Amino acid sequence: AASAAAAVTASGPRVIALADLSSALAEADVVVNILPLTPETRNFYDAVFFARMKREALFANMGRGGSVDEDALADALKSGTIAGALLDVTATEPLPPASPLWELPNLILTSHYSGFHPHYDEMVLEIFLDNLGRYGRGEDLRNVVDKRLGY
């Protein structure tokens, strides 16, 4: 389970213990989710979380859609609890036409695009070829996913 988070405040970026996250939220201008989806992170960003953010703050989800309680986010955006949000991922993709998220003027929705990079294919090929060599030599592989952990 995660034990630390990063925050960017007026004094610059810093790493904080999750136990100190609540106080950091009151200072943060932008909160960006890049968490994997695990039992511990499902709906991690809920109504209580958004209520701890300052009203001028923005929330961005580039991690996993299931880590955000989308109803709580919609309520926070409608009520002005937070100023705005950007979602590159949602719990259900594509986002259903009936989702209330479509109607929020202070929400930007993108189509799961944050992972694209102009040199993505070359990067993937380099990792694949390196891992192929490592496998042949009996060495540990790079970027291994542990399904038990969820990432």
Number of neighbouring beta carbons within 10 Å of residue 143: 9
Annotation marks residue 117 as catalytic: no
Question: Cα angle vertex 27, ends 25, 30, to 5°?
Answer: 70
Return d(Cα 35, Cα 13) in angstroms, integer. Answer: 18
Q: What is the pTM for the complete model shown?
A: 0.76
Annotation marks residue 148 as catalytic: no
Number of neighbouring beta carbons within 10 Å of residue 27: 14
pLDDT band for position 124 (cuts 50, 70, 90): confident
Fold classified for 4-116: Rossmann fold (3.40.50)
Q: Of these residues, 40, 93, 126, 139, which one is catalytic?
A: 93
Question: Cα angle vertex 11, ends 8, 17, to 5°?
Answer: 50
Question: What tens digit of pLDDT does each residue of 63-83 get?
Answer: 899 999 999 999 999 999 999
Residue 13: closest CA among 24, 22, 23, 2: 24
The answer on pLDDT for 61 being more than 90 is: yes
Annotation marks residue 137 as catalytic: no
Domain limits, the chain: 4-116, 118-151
